[in-house]
Structure 1
Amino acid sequence: MADLVSTPATYDAPHPPAPAPHPNGNARARAEPQQIAAELATRFALSAVERDQRGGTPKAERDALRASGLLALSIPTAYGGLGASWRTTLDVVRIIAGVDGSLAHVFAFHHLMLATVRLFGTERQWGSWFEKTARHDWFWGNALNPLDDRTLSHSRDDWLEFSGQKSFCSGALDSEMLIASARDARTNAFLVAAVPTQRSGIAIADDWDNIGQRQTDSGTVTFERVRVDHHEVLVDPGPLSTPFACLRPLIAQLILAHVYLGIGEAAFEDARRYTLNEARPWPASQLASVGDDPYILAQYGEFWVGLEAVRTLAARAADRLDDAWARGLALSESERGEVALAVATAKVAAAQTGLDICTRMFDVAGARATHGSLRLDRYWRNLRTHTLHDPLAYKMREIGEWALKRTYPTPSFYS
């Protein structure tokens, strides 16, 4: 298949030409994004259990996201998008995570990839990609793994050659565009580029078979002498080069916090329904209804307090991210540091509370809730799989550095 992004002419104007409106833009904008997400979530819930068991690519569901217009959610209206804030975008992620952690993951990472070209590249680059994404409902996938240095970049006459492999490439399958990273074979510099998924030399393996997040397609991408043109490399300002560019890892971290929160809320609601409708009181309680058991009620109280705390922390962090995003290149290191602390706090709380609920939900729902057909264990499996990729102990240490020494987290791809 030919490249989906044609090589642009040299840029003479300071800004890309104003894009034509998206053909469905006005109709899509009439509905609230959260309403669209809720309707999709209702649909996704019907097959969530079966798809968790099957794994693989949720093609029909990804196409439903394409048709919904939500892939343009975070794209500015000037480029045919819906121009949503990060708080709204993350609310949509949380709604989808409430029925399907995998779909929420790939949908959210799509918007993370769009943020990556915005933060690391020039308007001449991201303006064109934004417009085409909104117009054609492109899905962006991830092949940027800063811990995996197996892909190297070699300089050719007037282009770069990417060769090697990347692991944990969420959403790469069934995507139109990829954010890919490589190490310069000569200087070891970290390079990030945006390339069409169907470009010659890119092979995406269907090899993701983990216990959780089973439909994120987070497997292996192989680059075999892939041509990457210089206009596709994000070097101005480049990765993590300014306080504003350093918002990228914070967006990633806050995405995870909202995925965790959505999963935790879903586990709570499923446990609640099962407790009220299926669970039986323990004989020693001498109660007619499990809903009157003080030990059960106390646990639900703990669950509720935990979720309410995470909701508040996540909303606060999203608001601070929006404020920082609006600052643009004027964002200072200390302002970025405040966002980093808010995001880290929300993420730790979301992970701890979510794992607690997903583990203890069986204590309040009872032995019958372990029936295989229910697959209620998917909540724990999804959270456990996700949280292992970024150890909470190190995130807690960053928060401790601030709490004791008033030292902001050092920007990296994980903080």
Structure 2
Amino acid sequence: MGVVNPIKQAQLKAQSLFGKAEQLAAEFAATAVERDKRGGTAKNERDSLRKSGLLNLIIPVEYGGHGLDWHDTLQIVRIISRTDSSVGHLFGFQHLLLATIRLFGGQWPHYYRETVKNNWFWGNTLNPLDTRARISADGKDWLVHGTKSFCSGATDSDHLIVSALSETDGKLVIAAIPSNRTGIQIHSDWDNMGQRQTDSGTVDFHGVRIYDHEILREPGPLGSVFATLRPLLAQLILTNIYLGIGEGALAEAIGYTRSQSRAWFLSGVESATRDPYVLKKYGEFWVDLNAAALSTDHAASLLDAAWRQENALTEAERGSVAVASATAKVLATRAGLDVTQRLFEVTGARATSAKGGFDRYWRNLRTHSLHDPVDYKLLDLGEWVLNAKLPAPSFYS
């Protein structure tokens, strides 16, 4: 019997996981337009992800996960986002929240094993810009009171990452707790024009008990150079969602132009696929999305190299990832917004029918991209280019 090549084995495993993702994306596409109109919780789709095993992509093999790197994990986020960016958002945040535990808390091996064992889907109630939640001491434990907004995926989650400001010193405290703990009230009040099935509404905390061992304090929020990779991963997850939306919109437009669009009567051609203006616009879409994809994949490769460094990571190495991720996010946002609003120019008036739901691509990307303005990424990049100043670590850079 021959020796198993570990590299070949890892490649085959990755191919299998990519295949599952493509299969799920196709299933989600069948109901994406209807669910976008309906809003609410994508319960069936979340359960499909639970059954698929894809929730454990970045958990190392020794803890029961698949042990994928960030490059491949982000590619799968992009695949799902092409057909359903709400589910892609929830799926991406699953891995962001698992990474938060790894980067901020020494108890991550426990949470990784339990996530695999119990098939946990994680929800977000971190949102550092919303400072309404407070945490105070209660003997050996802690109590949280207050509200958090933009709590993506909290509904139907098994565990939550929660943040609150300390009543004692005002510092940010982050913990990992069960979603069904007494005093947690998850509201179904997300009613925005896009990302309608991300359940990104509000969560109230009414004296919710946090046990001391649940607080992520080693090294704590952004407590080391390695820990400051968390916001860069968050940026790249969003970038892959945006890129997936743009690529999905382009694929839908191509299918429609080929099968249903009519040539304009002044064009002198029989098919819309031969119209020179249509061809020019498709060329523009391709150039911009391809540039964004190459930049995004490059940033993901730098992130993987930095991740492997762990506590040996230097500020300069971290800064290189920050510059690359900011560049990718600007490109993906611009390219995605351009494709999603101009796709009607290559599909025609009939493509505006509500039945097709083509408008959802722009609505989803426009809604999501406003929560972290790219102007501030350009400011960081300008400082780097002109003044050789690396982006300062924060929860958004």
Whether TM-score is above 0.5 comes out as: yes
**In structure 1, what is the equivalent of residue 385 of structure 2?**
403
Aligned-residue Cα RMSD (Å) equals 1.2
TM (norm. structure 1) is 0.92
1:75 aligns with 2:52: no
1:360-414 deviation digits (Å, cap 9, x = unpaired): 0001111000001111000000000000000111111111111111111010000
Contact kept? 2:14, 2:68, Cα under 8 Å: no
Aligned equivalent of 1:138, options 120, 123, 127 = 120
Distance 2:220 2:126 in 1: 14
1:338 aligns with 2:320: yes
Distance 2:24 2:268 in 1: 43
Contact kept? 2:133, 2:147, Cα under 8 Å: yes
1:100 aligns with 2:84: yes
Structure 1 counterpart SS, 2:210: strand
**In structure 1, what is the equivalent of residue 3 of structure 2?**
none
**In structure 2, what is the equivalent of residue 118 of structure 1?**
102
Q: Which amino acid aligns with 2:159?
A: M
Structure 1 counterpart SS, 2:83: coil
**In structure 1, what is the equivalent of residue 32 of structure 2?**
48
**In structure 2, what is the equivalent of residue 148 of structure 1?**
130
1:262 aligns with 2:244: yes
Aligned equivalent of 2:187, options 200, 205, 216 = 205
The Cα of 1:286 is off from its aligned counterpart by 2.3
1:243 aligns with 2:225: yes
1:108-127 deviation digits (Å, cap 9, x = unpaired): 101100000000000xx111
Distance 1:341 1:372 in 2: 40
Distance 2:92 2:275 in 1: 39
The Cα of 1:128 is off from its aligned counterpart by 0.8
Structure 2 counterpart SS, 1:146: coil
Structure 1 counterpart SS, 2:92: helix
Structure 2 counterpart SS, 1:71: helix
Distance 2:326 2:143 in 1: 36
1:62-99 deviation digits (Å, cap 9, x = unpaired): 00000000111110111100001001110110000010
Contact kept? 2:235, 2:396, Cα under 8 Å: yes
Distance 2:168 2:117 in 1: 39
Q: Which amino acid aligns with 1:70?
A: L
1:61 aligns with 2:56: no
The Cα of 1:31 is off from its aligned counterpart by 6.1
1:285 aligns with 2:267: yes
Stretch deviating more after TM superposition (289-298 or 328-337): 289-298
**In structure 1, what is the equivalent of residue 7 of structure 2?**
none
Contact kept? 2:243, 2:332, Cα under 8 Å: yes
Distance 1:354 1:337 in 2: 26
Distance 2:140 2:224 in 1: 28
1:172-195 deviation digits (Å, cap 9, x = unpaired): 000001000000112101110001
Structure 2 counterpart SS, 1:165: strand
1:307-357 deviation digits (Å, cap 9, x = unpaired): 110111111011000000000000000100000001010111000000000
Distance 1:350 1:367 in 2: 26
**In structure 1, what is the equivalent of residue 291 of structure 2?**
309
Q: Which amino acid aligns with 2:202?
A: T
1:364 aligns with 2:346: yes
Q: Which runs of 5+ in 1 are unaligned?
A: 1-25
**In structure 1, what is the equivalent of residue 208 of structure 2?**
226
Distance 2:268 2:19 in 1: 44
**In structure 2, what is the equivalent of residue 10 of structure 1?**
none
% identical aligned pairs: 53
Structure 2 counterpart SS, 1:396: helix
1:7-59 deviation digits (Å, cap 9, x = unpaired): xxxxxxxxxxxxxxxxxxx9x95862111100111111111111101000011
Distance 1:72 1:399 in 2: 33
Q: Which amino acid aligns with 2:142?
A: L
1:389 aligns with 2:371: yes
1:191-244 deviation digits (Å, cap 9, x = unpaired): 100010000001100111111000000011110000001111111101111110
**In structure 2, what is the equivalent of residue 299 of structure 1?**
281
Stretch deviating more after TM superposition (86-95 or 269-278): 269-278
* Paired residues for 1:1-16 under 5 Å: none
Aligned equivalent of 2:74, options 71, 82, 90 = 90
Distance 1:230 1:68 in 2: 33
Stretch deviating more after TM superposition (273-282 or 250-259): 273-282
Structure 2 counterpart SS, 1:98: helix
Distance 1:271 1:69 in 2: 32
1:245-280 deviation digits (Å, cap 9, x = unpaired): 000000000001100111100100111111111111
Distance 1:392 1:160 in 2: 37
Q: CA 1:30/1:213 → structure 2, altered by over 3 Å: closer, same or farther? A: closer
Structure 1 counterpart SS, 2:266: helix
Aligned length: 387
TM (norm. structure 2) is 0.96
Aligned equivalent of 2:144, options 156, 162, 168 = 162
Structure 1 counterpart SS, 2:382: helix
Structure 2 counterpart SS, 1:50: helix
Distance 2:348 2:167 in 1: 56
Q: Which amino acid aligns with 1:150?
A: R
